[in-house]
Structure 1
Amino acid sequence: MLKVTALATALSLAVSSSVLGAETRIERADPSVICLDEDMTLSVWRSQSTVLSFDYTRTTASLVVDGRRWLQLPQNIQTSIALSAFCRPAMADTLVVLEVRNQSGNLLGTVSRGKWHNRLTGQWF
């Protein structure tokens, strides 16, 4: 399964000692650590003006891309960008859906449960 799915459930283990013995505490890992590679991928494509913006504040997260540049990218790069944008919202809510839209608002695809669905081809990755 994709790395993103594992990331959404990633946990860090913190162990602290107490007077009566060791106490184990499980905490969610920080998204800035878990999504480091994905954030770098988005930064690269943002610097190339392919990624225009992203919004993780709503139930359905969104990624806005330059439609012309997006369509010129190979399928594997589109998938990589979409899954990278999915990492942070998936850390907050594993059932979140990410929509990828062009600057005109046309839906290009979605990421749900760590899988990219290209709306233009109908394929799941």
Structure 2
Amino acid sequence: MKPITAGEVRTNLPTNPQPDGDHKAFSIVDALAPIPNFPEVKGYNPYKMNGEISGYESFAMKFVDSMSPQETFAIKQQIDAQKQIFGVESYSEFKFVMSAWVLSIIIGVLLISFLFRKFLR
């Protein structure tokens, strides 16, 4: 592009950011599905590998059973889905949100059943 001269005005047109090619939108299934089994790597420990769980320290308990880098990556993907779908920032917060959802569903079913019985009489 040529340099701008004193009397010239150029418009600065905004451009859309390029989307990530390998990133897909997460769904509730991604956040709640169990982690598949991967082949075990002897001597693998995600806590001893430098930077393996960096950024996921508040979810460190989820990496206890990780026996391979593939399993660690799958756990990270699930954590990212939980953060995006449920808006949680730690494993205990995720457990609290899930407990609250289950409790509200149980209370809703009980209220509907009580009201249904009352209207039938």
User: TM over 0.5: same fold?
Assistant: no
Q: Give the strand-richer structure, 1 or 2.
A: 1
Using the size of structure 1 for normalisation, the TM-score is 0.28
Q: Judging by fraction of residues, say which structure has more helix.
A: 2
Task: Give TM-score, length-normalised by structure 2.
Answer: 0.29
| Structure whose alpha-carbon radius of gyration is higher | 2
